[in-house]
Amino acid sequence: MQKNYLESVIKQFQYYKLLGDKTIEQLDDEELFWQYNTGSNSIAIIVNHLWGNMKSRWTDFLTSDGEKEWRNRDLEFESIINSRAELLEKWEEGWSCLFDALNSINENNFDTVVYIRNQGHTIVEAVNRQLAHYAYHTGQIVFMGKMVKGENWKSLSIPKGKSSEFNKEKFAKGKHREHFTDDLLGNK
């Protein structure tokens, strides 16, 4: 159960990272910093927030509180990223921190209680909390990408009007066991 859960959740996180990667790839530099209005976040701001959250939650995941004293959450929502290179560096650093922490979980420490703001979580609760949080923000990144690209957006899922074709291909394989991300992530 533990091994299956960890393998599945790692694939889920990889999937959300991939959606962000494929969105960022489609955007020019200016589009990464576009904001709907002054009260809205740009993709760069969301990436900065994800980076701060990931570094805080996953650094010393099993041994220290997930809300680190050095984290400045309010600053995460300011326009402090100045380039695509800086955005990509933070994007990759945050995800690397997360995957390193997930890969450190094993049967010997799976029952560890981890804390976020002094509130105890099982490993499953802490991981699920962050999975939902990152899916939420990745969805924002994708939606903003679609907004700024308009007709030039390249779909990251089943394109409109292609569901029957997609299902036909999937059902042609017959019943089998695989994670839904295996084709996308090259995990065959």
pLDDT band of residue 187 (cuts 50, 70, 90) is: low
Q: How many angstroms from the chain centroid is the CA of residue 19? A: 8
- Among 2-6, 73-77, 162-166, the range with the most confident prediction by mean pLDDT is 73-77
Asked whether 152 and 33 are in contact (CB, 8 A), the reply is no
What mean pLDDT, rounded, does the chain reach? 94
Q: What is the CATH number of domain 2-155?
A: 1.20.120.450
Map out the domains of the chain as residue ranges: 2-155
Q: Please tell me the pTM assigned to this model.
A: 0.93
Q: List pLDDT tens digits, range 142-173.
A: 999 999 999 999 999 888 888 998 888 888 88
* Residues 6+ away with beta carbon under 8 Å from 185: 11, 14, 15, 18
Q: For 14-43, write each residue's pLDDT tens digit.
A: 999 999 999 999 999 999 999 999 999 999
pLDDT digits (tens, 9 = 90+) for 112-128: 999 999 999 999 999 99
Instruction: Please list the alpha-helical segments (H only) found in the chain.
Output: 2-26, 29-32, 43-58, 73-76, 84-103, 123-149, 163-172, 182-185
